């Protein structure tokens, strides 16, 4: 797979989060200027929570019509509705519940008190994505956010896990090395169908994974290639082992 993109390094975690929030607002506003609506797939994780907080606090957040944004998720922990460990719960608490959104445009992955298995949740999500895509199957998000794990995972696609090779738009994940073991994730194919993907990394714990993903491209994170723009938005600690800022 040929890859191309850029790495943009920020001074520290807070600058990174504030910059990503500002970019996010501008990206959604640009898309809405062209099409009237926009779609974003959210991620979970610590730096994402800071980004959402900065979006909420941003003085320019009103340049986006939040009621015309579709919110999806790149992955979810298969836990009951409202569980604080769910990525949905985190995003709702951090910003969604405080913005003037259209509840019909919020598309969480099904929780474990709603369906019995992660596979069932994935099948429902794939069907919802297909309906939203007008039948083409794979979603083409205007913006997809990804965190990266110390092991190089993105969304809930972990190195060596069979979910990494799944087909279709979404997959049930079992035996995740990071708790909880059951999860739901977009497939790599669905991630790579997005127009714009930003991989956000903060902290020295991510430095080895960022370097390996960008230099060898074998880790799940290294296999991400958007249709339009792939950007790695990182802080200095996460970039500490990088030799090149282009790939
Ligand atoms: O479990 C997950 O972890 C990753 C990264 O989280 P972080 O706290 O180490 O930044 C996140 O991207 C993913 O969405 C989430 O489910």
Q: Using CA atoms, how far apart are residues 85 and 93, in angstroms rounded to an integer?
A: 12
Ligand 1 contact via 185 beta carbon (within 6 Å): no
Query: Which run of H or E residues covers position 55?
Result: helix 46-57
pTM recorded for the entire structure: 0.97
Ligand 1 centroid to 44 CA: how many Å? Answer: 5
74, 31 Cβ separation under 8 angstroms:
no
The Cβ-side half-sphere exposure at 157, using a 13 Å CA radius, reads 29
Ligand 1 contact via 187 beta carbon (within 6 Å): no
b/e 82-101 (16+ beta carbons within 10 angstroms → b): eeeebbbbbbbebbbeeeeb
pLDDT at residue 1, as a whole number: 62
Indicate the pairing of strand 38-42 with strand 69-73.
parallel
Q: Using CA atoms, how far apart are residues 242 and 173, in angstroms rounded to an integer?
A: 30
Ligand 1 centroid to 161 CA: how many Å? Answer: 16
* Protein residue with its CA nearest to atom 10 in ligand 1: 45
What the chain holds in terms of domains, given with CATH numbers, is: 6-235 (3.40.50.1360)
Low-confidence ranges of the chain (pLDDT < 70): 1-2
Counting atoms of ligand 1 from 1, which one is nearest the CA of 153?
4
Ligand 1 centroid to 147 CA: how many Å? Answer: 5
pLDDT at residue 135, as a whole number: 77
Ligand 1 centroid to 34 CA: how many Å? Answer: 32
pLDDT at residue 5, as a whole number: 86
């Amino acid at each position: 797979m040929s890859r191309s993109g850029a790495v943009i390094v920020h001074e520290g975690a807070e600058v990174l989060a504030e910059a990503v929030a500002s970019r996010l607002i501008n990206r959604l506003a640009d898309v809405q200027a062209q099409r009237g609506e926009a779609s974003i797939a959210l991620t979970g994780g610590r730096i994402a929570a800071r980004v959402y907080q900065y979006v909420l606090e941003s003085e320019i957040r009103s340049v986006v019509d939040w009621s015309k944004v579709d919110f999806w998720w790149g992955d979810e922990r298969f836990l009951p509705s409202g569980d604080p460990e769910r990525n949905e719960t985190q995003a709702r608490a951090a910003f969604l519940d405080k913005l003037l959104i259209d509840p019909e445009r919020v598309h969480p992955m099904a929780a474990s008190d709603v369906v019995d298995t992660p596979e069932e949740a994935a099948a429902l999500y794939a069907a919802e994505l297909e309906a939203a895509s007008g039948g083409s199957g794979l979603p083409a998000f205007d913006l997809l956010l990804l965190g990266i794990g110390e092991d190089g995972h993105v969304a809930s696609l972990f190195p060596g896990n069979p979910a990494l090779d799944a087909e279709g738009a979404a997959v049930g994940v079992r035996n995740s090395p990071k708790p909880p073991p059951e999860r739901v994730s977009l497939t790599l194919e669905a991630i790579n169908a997005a127009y714009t993907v930003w991989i956000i990394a903060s902290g020295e714990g991510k430095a080895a994974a960022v370097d390996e993903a960008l230099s060898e491209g074998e880790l799940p994170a290294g296999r991400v290639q958007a249709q339009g723009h792939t950007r790695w938005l990182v802080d200095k600690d996460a970039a500490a082992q990088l030799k090149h800022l282009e790939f």
